[in-house]
Amino acid sequence: MSRFAAPIAEQIWDMKYRFKQADGAPIDGTVEDSWRRIARALASAEKRPQDWEETFFAALEDFKYLPAGRITAGAGTARSVTLFNCFVMGTIPDSMAGIFDMLKEAALTMQQGGGIGYDFSTIRPKGATVHGVAADASGPLSFMDVWDAMCRTIMSAGSRRGAMMATMRCDHPDIEDFIGAKADSARLRMFNLSVLVSDAFMEAVKAGGSWDLAFDGKVYRTVEARDLWNRIMRATYDYAEPGVIFIDRINQANNLNYIEEIAATNPCGEQPLPPYGACLLGSINLARLVSAPFEPGAHIDEEALDGLVATAVRMMDNVVDASRFPLPAQQEEARNKRRIGLGVTGLADALLMKGLRYGSEEAAAQTERWLHRIARAAYLASVELAKEKGAFPLFDAEKYLASGNMMQMDEDVRAAIRTHGIRNALLTSIAPTGTISLYAGNVSSGIEPVFAYAYTRKVLQKDGTRTEEEVVDYAVQMWRDLKGDADLPEHFVNAQTLDPQDHVRMQAAAQKWIDSSISKTINCPEDISFEAFKDVYMMAYETGCKGCTTYRPNEVTGSVLTVSETADVAPGEAPEQVRGTQEGAEVVYMSEPLDRPQALEGQTYKLKWPDSEHAIYLTINDIVVGGHRRPFEVFINSKNMEHYAWTVALTRMISAVFRRGGDVSFVVEELKAVFDPRGGAWVKGKYIPSILAAIGGVIERHMIAIGFLEGEGMGLKSDPQAKVVGLDAPRGKACPSCGQYSMMMVEGCMTCSNCGHSKCG
């Protein structure tokens, strides 16, 4: 029998984590082979590997412990990749040479598959004097554009998509430009942005005070704190960025605040890290650990949980020694502090199995109890490792016990650390688990609520056709298996039905026992008022969260609903009578292509695609047949010679189709459905999945202008730009990997529910 709980789980394993030869031939024959590969690789760091391989295998078996994707895919393959998920790079010097040294380091890190974070607050503001060159500074955003271009270059060279986080302090003179940067849909597409918000700023916001914007001791101007806060809130309300990081709270809670200061995070925000800081991630799958699910006695065996956590900590500590690092400074930082980030996934499913409603006070209390248990077990396991292998090199018992989260840790744990030391400076984090959660049978991601109980997924078959399969949440499928067709209980809730305050309550409950931070998205309804939206962030601050990420579906950010697959056709009316003609007109078919007249009327359109140096020009000429105007030929031109071959081919093919006559609106339909695996672009408030889709949109607008089509999406069998009409399943942006409209914000990261692709790697 297969170990996979759902077809999508096996597909994700085969696509993302199965070890294969360069030609695609499998090396891992089964998922057991993958578990064995990982267990053997991590046990090799032990003095007696044979004593630990079986223990590690047992933890991986049946998806109980889920190492992060880079470990699952890379451990034991001998490939030149890092097993660490994320890095915060070195402090950027305020000099041209230093800035470009940092750019080089970023490229080397990304080349090995690491996501990176940078604080751009250290670069002098735009217009500041640059001494010695008689010039004004171009400001940090101009250099962020350079980083953005580098990331696109690394991605286009064949590596996995790069993920970057840029932060800026709320008192930097260029903070307003930083806040509004994503209003330009073509700019900084490779970055997530977050504002570093200080406690002093939040107090000024609450008090209605003023706020100085300063750099290097010089105040450039003073603004009203509430005005700046409203500007941050308006941008994230409209564009879902920037996020907010409560940076003082992060530094205060850091176990290492006596030797490091944090000013940036990894791309998803769950790992605040010092310069050259690196972190590896893994998750305990709570959904697999519940006994007697949906029964009055449903519970997690806490002693078994302790044992699983202890094994996971040992495995993750071994990764520090087994992994490659892009830069020597990253290796030194990792081995001096041995930071790990053990978290959970399947929390919402586990709560459902216990009969608890996600977001309720009872669910928050249970979450806090589980995570307290995990934190205790992790710290005690790290103490045992310190007895055996030694404490992390920079350990100082007196300073460590007087810092950060250690101040609230249980006294018996503190006593053990005081006596024996501890192997890992920080141990817990809750990371995005979208792909590994699908791999584990579509368990709920991280500490997120269930996103959708079920949705339909289109699967590409070997013969090129697509079939549809239902993807069901793990807990919902278990309910079906145990209870048959019985209705889901009232405590079953999902991300779309929860109040934002429920999300915040759960994040705050989890944060209490998490060393680092939490990757979580607070879903807000589209019609939430701006004032209510701001209250979500203020609640997050007041309840102890270290950051806040929201997602409000709208025309700019994308929707999360379903689309209509067919155009409206009256009963008994043939589709051909609706599509491709003016109202009441007949479709004209031609057995042979028409000869081209000496002169034709037409229109030329300029198409400017983001990131492309040269515009594309489309000339569409028309012919009148039977009293009706219709497109006859297309010419596509660009100065960009990289476009030459495909623009000539497209010109000839589309023109040949148009000259045959008939209902040629399918040309629009086919072009608009083309996706670019490198990602599309936002153009005038709409997400366009590719430059070919943009061309299709231009042709469609021309057809509307001449009366060949009645309106956008009208007359097409399936319009990729159709408006949302239902609530049955997720609907989002087009996935840059598989092209399906299945992208949704999960744990602060755009993730595809169809193929598991994640913007954040």
Instruction: Give the pair of three-digit tokens for residue 220.
Output: 């450039």
Q: Write out 290-328 in H/E/C secondary structure.
A: EECCCCCCCEECHHHHHHHHHHHHHHHHHHHHHCCCCCH
Say which of 251, 255, 266, 523 is annotated catalytic: 266
pLDDT at 677: 64
Instruction: Tell me the average pLDDT across 105-111.
Output: 88
Say which of 86, 151, 268, 735 is annotated catalytic: 268
Answer yes or no: 640 catalytic: no
Cα 449 → chain centroid = 16
Q: pLDDT tens for residues 481-535?
A: 999 989 999 999 988 789 999 999 999 999 999 999 999 999 999 899 999 999 9
Contact partners, residue 605, CB within 8 Å, separation at least 6: 617, 618, 619, 620, 698, 701, 702
pLDDT of 1 strictly over 60: no
Looking up tokens 């549809």, which residue turns up?
468
Q: pLDDT tens for residues 589-627?
A: 444 456 677 788 888 999 888 766 678 889 999 888 767
Q: Rounded to an integer, what distance in angstroms lies between the CA atom of residue 50 and that of residue 48?
A: 6
Res. 373 pLDDT band, cuts 50 70 90? very high
Verify cis geometry, omega within 30 degrees of 0, for the bond prior to 242: yes
Cα 662 → chain centroid = 43
pLDDT at 594: 61
Q: Following DSSP, what letter does each residue of 651-711 receive, concatenated?
A: HHHHHHHHHHBS-TTHHHHHHHT---TT--EEETTEEES-HHHHHHHHHHHHHHHTTSSSS
pLDDT at 217: 95
Q: pLDDT tens for residues 523-557?
A: 999 899 999 999 999 999 999 999 999 999 876 67
Instruction: Give the pair of three-digit tokens for residue 617.
Output: 């020009």
Instruction: Tell me the average pLDDT across 290-317.
Output: 97
Residue 82 DSSP symbol: -
pLDDT at 608: 85
Higher pLDDT, 402 or 734: 402
Instruction: Tell me the average pLDDT across 125-132.
Output: 88
Q: Evaluate whether 575 touches 587 at the Cβ level (below 8 Å).
A: no
Q: pLDDT tens for residues 29-87?
A: 999 999 999 999 999 999 999 999 999 999 999 999 999 999 999 999 988 788 987 89
The pairing of strands 278-285 and 340-345 is parallel
- Judged by phi (left if over 0) then psi (alpha if -120 to 50, else beta), residue 235 lies in alpha
pLDDT of 223 strictly over 70: yes
Say which of 270, 333, 448, 747 is annotated catalytic: 270
pLDDT of 122 strictly over 60: yes
Instruction: Give the pair of three-digit tokens for residue 469.
Output: 């399969």
Answer yes or no: 268 catalytic: yes
Res. 208 pLDDT band, cuts 50 70 90? very high
Res. 2 pLDDT band, cuts 50 70 90? confident
* Nearest in space to 150 (alpha carbons), one of 86, 733, 159, 194: 159
Q: Rounded to an integer, what distance in angstroms lies between the CA atom of residue 31 and that of residue 23?
A: 20
Answer yes or no: 755 catalytic: no
Higher pLDDT, 248 or 565: 248
Range scoring the smallest mean pLDDT among 182-186, 332-336, 562-566, 687-691: 562-566
Q: Average pLDDT, whole number, for the chain?
A: 86
Share of the chain above pLDDT 90, in %: 59
pLDDT at 666: 83
Q: Rounded to an integer, what distance in angstroms lies between the CA atom of residue 189 and that of residue 156?
A: 14
CB atoms within 10 A of CB 86: 31
Q: Rounded to an integer, what distance in angstroms lies between the CA atom of residue 287 and that of residue 436?
A: 13
Domain boundaries, the chain: 93-259, 568-721
